[in-house]
Structure 1
Amino acid sequence: MLDDAVPAPNVPVGSYAMAVRTGDLLFVSGHGAFEDGHPMHTGRLGKTMTTEQGARAAEAVMLNLLATIRAELGDLSSVAKVVKVVVFVNSAPDFTEQHVVANGATDLLAKAFGDAGRSARSAVGVASLPFGFAVEIEAVVQIGTSDVRAPSDS
């Protein structure tokens, strides 16, 4: 899988939990990309960054988010389904390719988890993000495999 690419998990940078589990769902707080404790992939899409750079930033953020999931669950094999992903993109007023930037994150999930990584998704342009991040991502993940069922034929 991609375990070698997933970095060590980050610590919260405020007064919140990195993830909260309720039942078989794990709600993962908004993440940016850090490397050695320092923000990376900062800038504004459509002004200081290209769409391609934004997609790479989204992939890096998703790797950081997966680090939190792995820390919470012990390993990534406990992920039954990625339910929802929200991608916030630090955007210039006329930038309209937030959905393409978000593909950097959701393409990674599809590669990592197959169909279980294909989630519902929102891509939202925002005026700014903490630390000047280009991308912030939050997610909801279903845990375990016993509750995953195919749709019934009835």
Structure 2
Amino acid sequence: MTTKPSIEARLAELGITLPQASNPAGNYTNCVIVNGLMFVSGKGPSGNPKGKLGSEYTTEEGIHFARLAGIEVLAAVQAELGSLDRVKRVVKAQGFVNAVPSFEEHHKVLNGFSDLMAEVFGEKGVHTRSVLGAVSLRNNLPLVIDSIFEVEN
């Protein structure tokens, strides 16, 4: 019987080390599980970048920021579940992109998150998503992504 490699082993193959999960900035929690669905609070990229896509940052930089935000999401999920192997499926991602009004590549930016989920979880990392342009975001972050995962009880 062949055992499936763990998600943590997959992260190591990808050269990804998850940081400690960030603490909520207010009166809320990182994750809530209801009926097998884990709702993850919005996460921005590590490193505290500030600015808008289309002025301070390019689409390519936004893609990188979305990947970093995905790593922050994974850290929160791992902290809540104890192991990413308990993730059954990435269900949905919703991205908010802090952009100038003329910016039109929001969907490309969120590919940084979506590609990471597929790399880490394979087929069960493919998810639904929506992306919105924002006039501003907390701390002037370039993007914030919230997400929903199906998890084992």
TM-score (norm 2): 0.88
Choose the corresponding residue for 1:141, options 133, 141, 149: 149
Matched, 1:103 2:111: yes
For 1:110 and 1:74, the matched residues in 2 are separated by 20
How many residue pairs are counted as aligned between the two chains? 141
Distance, in Å, in 1 between the alignment partners of 2:32 and 2:118 is 23
Q: 1:87 aligns with which of 75, 91, 95?
A: 95
1:2 pairs, out of 7, 11, 16, with 11
1:118 paired to 2:126? yes
Contact 1:10 1:34 in 2 (8 A): no
1:76 pairs, out of 84, 92, 114, with: 84
Stretch of structure 1 that moved more, 26-35 or 108-117 = 26-35
Q: 19, 24, 32: which is aligned to 1:20?
A: 32
Give the letter aligned to residue 12 of structure 1: P
Are 2:68 and 1:60 equivalent residues in the alignment? yes
Cα contact 1:42–1:133 (8 A) shared by 2: yes
Work out the percentage of aligned pairs sharing the same amino acid. Answer: 38
CA distance in structure 2 between the partners assigned to 1:52 and 1:5 by the alignment: 22
- Give CA-to-partner distance per residue, 1:16-65, whole Å, 9 cap, x none: 11110112110001111234xxxx23210001100000000000011001
Deviation at 1:2, TM superposition (A): 1.4
Question: Please, which runs of 5 or more residues in structure 2 have no aligned partner?
Answer: 1-9
Provide the residue aligned with 2:56 in structure 1: 48
Partner of 2:136: 128
Let me know the Cα RMSD of the aligned residues: 1.3
Q: Could you list the runs of 4 or more consecutive aligned residues of structure 1 that deviate by over 2 angstroms after TM superposition?
A: none
User: Which ranges in structure 1 are unaligned for 5 or more consecutive residues?
Assistant: 146-154
Q: Normalising by structure 1, what TM-score?
A: 0.88
